[in-house]
Amino acid sequence: MNLVGLWTLCRRELRRTFRIINQVVWPPLIATVLFLTVFVIGLGRAVGEMEGLPYVAFLLPGLMFMQIVETSFGESAASLFILRFTGSIQELLVAPLSRLEMVLGLLSGTILRALLIAGLVLGVGLLVGAPYGASAPVHPLGLVGLVILLAVCFASLGLLMGLAAESFDQMSIPQTFLVTPLVYTAGVFLSVHQAGLPAPLALISRFNPMTPMVDMLRWAVTGHAALPVGQGFAIVGGLATCALLGVTAVFRSGWKLQH
Amino acid sequence: MPGVRLDSPRQPGGARSCATPTSPQARLDEVRGRHLTTPAVRIAGLVKRYGTLEAVRGLDLDVPEGEFFGLLGPNGAGKTTTLSCLVGLTLPTAGRLEVHGADVVRDPRRARAAIGLAPQEYNFDRYLTVRETLVYSAGYFGIPPRTCAERADDLLRRFDLWDKRDGEVQKMSGGMKRRLTIARALIHRPRVLVLDEPTAGVDVELRFALWSMLRALSSDEGLTIILTTHYLEEAEQLCSRIGIMREGRILALAPTRDLTGEGERQILEVTYAAVPDSVPDAAWPGLLWDGARRQARVGDLTPAQVPACLAVLSALGTVARVDLRHRSLQDVFLELTTRQPAPEATP
């Protein structure tokens, strides 16, 4: 196995992240501060508690999830698309890197970026939200494991998007019409288990694959989960595995890579 | 530009073999000895189809180690497709490609470690500096970080890019980008270098500098070089053997001096004051008639044949002008690619 090549590809992803730090690192932090300001400081007293948690403690894992999805899906898709768009993907294709090594190299860079963003969002969230009831993660190792699984899942889907897209306009289609609606109906801002939720929203949330992901992140940060933890981890791990196997199979087929 | 030398045997991953000779002469002797065994590049029965389009049609080619080989042809002849198959960018439909005995499809890791590609189009990673471009490229080939840095610095100095090492690639001139492209192709010390139109779009001064650099790589280090170019003079100056392609097949494959007749073959062009009554094709073997220019042309003449041919052509009409010149690679190229129907099978 070309471990040096794999690590180089991982470093290249991180290099890209810090070359475009204003696009990748600062926006999630600013968005987190703004969400917390509006929803917790502005409206928090009106909301009170959600699923037995102070609203800030309920909201913070959801905000982390939003940013993990963005940095994993959007950025991995953009990174691969630009490699294809500029032709620099050829540099990887003529190197002695297997397709699996290419996928793992790109994913490992995304995982490190997701851990960084999740850590920064958590730090900012605690800084702003501590006076309102936010506290340090109850299950830190579980949180790290979940961030990795989520990054693998969404980065794999992002790589598929980066392969499939033929233009920057096409790149925005799944983000706009699929990922963002799913994120907003997965229980990020409000409990999907509360009584009185409109029936269509309750139905979408129930079958939304992102709902157990948000729930597990909430468990890792607050210790509270609606789903049994084992079941939640099985769903998140299963989805991440499927996405990883899918993107590896597509890379190995040479689709959009080798003519 | 300083001369370019690779001062150690090329080993994937940067390892040096104790058994490998280190002096250039010993290296060349070793290279010449290998000619009789495994070629640096072997292509057998290569076919590449894109849907109904057959870009390469059963191409066979051996390139011995240390050779400077030129692959020529008009646009769409199949040159770039052939090279893309060789470096692993394109999957062949049929046939076998080997680089130093390693099958490009079945053993891609070993084949790719032995070959370096300098593509025609600039395809640099936009997020990396000039030095990082070389360091990361070496890393993809599995070369340890410390060795990557040493090799990158060495190549930056040799290719006169040291002062630009921390700059953005996008802001460099075309000539600098071209040099960086070649330096990047050499970072893992390949045994075969593939150059796809390496001097396209560069000025005359840089073209001559690149020629000098490529000659040094070939003659001093015994590097096998495969070159495609639209500049026929470039191929004539650099390549010891040339293949001319058209419609996915090789029409001619011979040492450069044989193709051009070592400067002894001549072309006779006779321009008439008025269009002659008749210009029979059989007047002289290979006679070509250009009605628009009122010109009869016979290529590939020995000096001894010229007077007789001139006498035959002069008898056809009133001669306005006679031109006699040596046969160049351009003449051969044009004869093969524009005036002769494509043959049915690869020679």
What pLDDT score was predicted for residue B26?
Answer: 56
Which phi and psi (to 5°) does residue B265 adopt?
-80, 140
Chain B residues close to A17, C-beta within 8 Å: none
CA A208, CA A226: separation in Å to the nearest integer?
A: 14
DSSP readout, B266-320?
Answer: EEEEEEESS--S---GGGSTT-EEETTTTEEEEEEE-GGGHHHHHHHHHTTS-EE
Check residue A201 and give its pLDDT.
87
Q: Is the pLDDT of residue B301 over 90?
A: no
In this prediction, residue A185 has a pLDDT band, given cuts at 50, 70 and 90, of very high
Q: What is the ipTM of this complex?
A: 0.90
Contact B126 A15 (CB under 8 A): no
Give contacts of B117 with chain A, Cβ < 8 Å.
90, 94
Can you tell me the mean pLDDT for A35-57? 83
Please judge whether B89 and A16 are an interchain contact, meaning their C-beta atoms are less than 8 angstroms apart: no
Which amino acid is located at B99 in the chain? V
Residue B105 has pLDDT above 60, yes or no: yes
The phi and psi torsions of B105 (rounded to 5 degrees) equal -90, -45
Task: Give the nearest chain A residue to B117 (CA atoms).
Answer: A94
Residues found in chain B: 347
Chain A residues bordering chain B (beta-carbon distance below 8 Å): 2-5, 7-9, 11-12, 15-16, 19-20, 82-83, 86-88, 90-98, 254, 258-259
DSSP A61-117: HHHHHHHHHIIIIIHHHHHHHHHHHHSTHHHHHTSS--HHHHHHHHHHHHHHHHHHH
Residue B266 has pLDDT above 90, yes or no: no
| Contact residues, chain A, for B12 at CB < 8 Å | 96
Cross-chain residue pair A96–B91, CB shorter than 8 Å: no
Q: Which two tokens stand for residue A86?
A: 């500029």
Please, what sign has the CA dihedral across residues B72, B73, B74, B77?
A: negative
State the pLDDT at residue A190: 86
Q: What is the pLDDT of residue B33?
A: 52
Q: Which residues of A touch B139 (CB under 8 A)?
A: 4-5, 7-8, 11
CB contact under 8 A, B140 and A11: no
| Mutate: best of A7, A8, A82, A83, partner B, most B CBs <10 A | A8
Q: Which residues contact A31 (CB under 8 A, 6 or more apart)?
A: A63, A66, A67
Contact state of B140 with A90 under an 8 Å Cβ cutoff? no
At residue B91 the predicted structure's pLDDT band, cuts being 50, 70 and 90, is very high
Interface of B with A (CB under 8 A): 12, 50, 84, 87-91, 108-110, 112-113, 115, 117, 119, 121-128, 132, 136-137, 139-145, 184
**Residue B346: per-residue pLDDT:** 40
- Contact (CB<8Å) B123/A90: yes
**A38 Rama sector, left if φ>0, alpha if ψ -120 to 50, beta otherwise:** alpha
- Name which of A2, A15, A254 is nearest B142 (Cβ-Cβ): A2
* Mean pLDDT value across residues B72-86: 93
The pair of three-digit structure tokens given for residue B25, joined into one six-digit string = 């002469």
Q: Tell me the nearest-neighbour CA distance from B123 into chain A, angstroms.
A: 5
B133-153 mean pLDDT: 95
Can you tell me the mean pLDDT for B59-63?
96
How many angstroms away from the CA of A112 is the closest CA of chain B? 18
Q: What percent of chain B has pLDDT over 90?
A: 56
Tell me which amino acid residue A130 is. Answer: A
Q: Among B87, B112, B140, whose Cβ lies nearest the Cβ of A8? A: B140
User: What is the sign of the dihedral through the CA atoms of A79, A84, A85 and A88?
Assistant: positive
- pTM of the complete model: 0.83
Contacts with B93 (C-beta within 8 Å, 6 or more apart), sequence order: B47, B48, B49
Out of B91, B113, B125, name the one closest to residue A91 (CB): B125
Cβ separation B142–A254 shorter than 8 A: no
Residue of B nearest to A6 (CA): B140
* Spatial CB neighbours of A249, under 8 Å, sequence gap ≥ 6: none
CA distance B185 to chain A (A): 10
Q: Is the pLDDT of residue B30 over 70?
A: no
Residue of B nearest to A1 (CA): B142
Q: A4: which chain B residues are within 8 Å (Cβ-Cβ)?
A: 139, 142-145
**Coil, strand or helix: which one is B97?**
strand
Neighbours of A167 (CB within 10 A): 10
DSSP string, A171-232: HHHHIIIIIHHHHHTTTSSS-TTSTT--HHHHHHHHH-THHHHHHHHHHHHHS--SS-HHHH
Angle, helices B204-221 vs B24-34, to 10°: value is: 80
Q: Which chain A residues are within 8 Å of B140, Cβ to Cβ?
A: 5, 8-9, 91-92, 95, 97
pLDDT digits (tens, 9 = 90+) for B224-241: 999 999 888 899 899 999
Chain B residue numbers touching A1 (CB-CB < 8 A): none
Query: Of the given ranges (A31-35, A189-193, A216-220, B94-98), which has the lowest mean pLDDT?
Result: A189-193
Residue A110, exposed/middle/buried by CB under 10 A (0-12, 13-18, 19+)? buried
As a dihedral over the C-alpha atoms of residue A104, residue A105, residue A111, residue A113, rounded to 10 degrees, the angle is: -160
Chain A residues within 8 A of B136 when measuring between CB atoms: 8, 11-12, 15
Contact B232, B155 (CB under 8 A): no
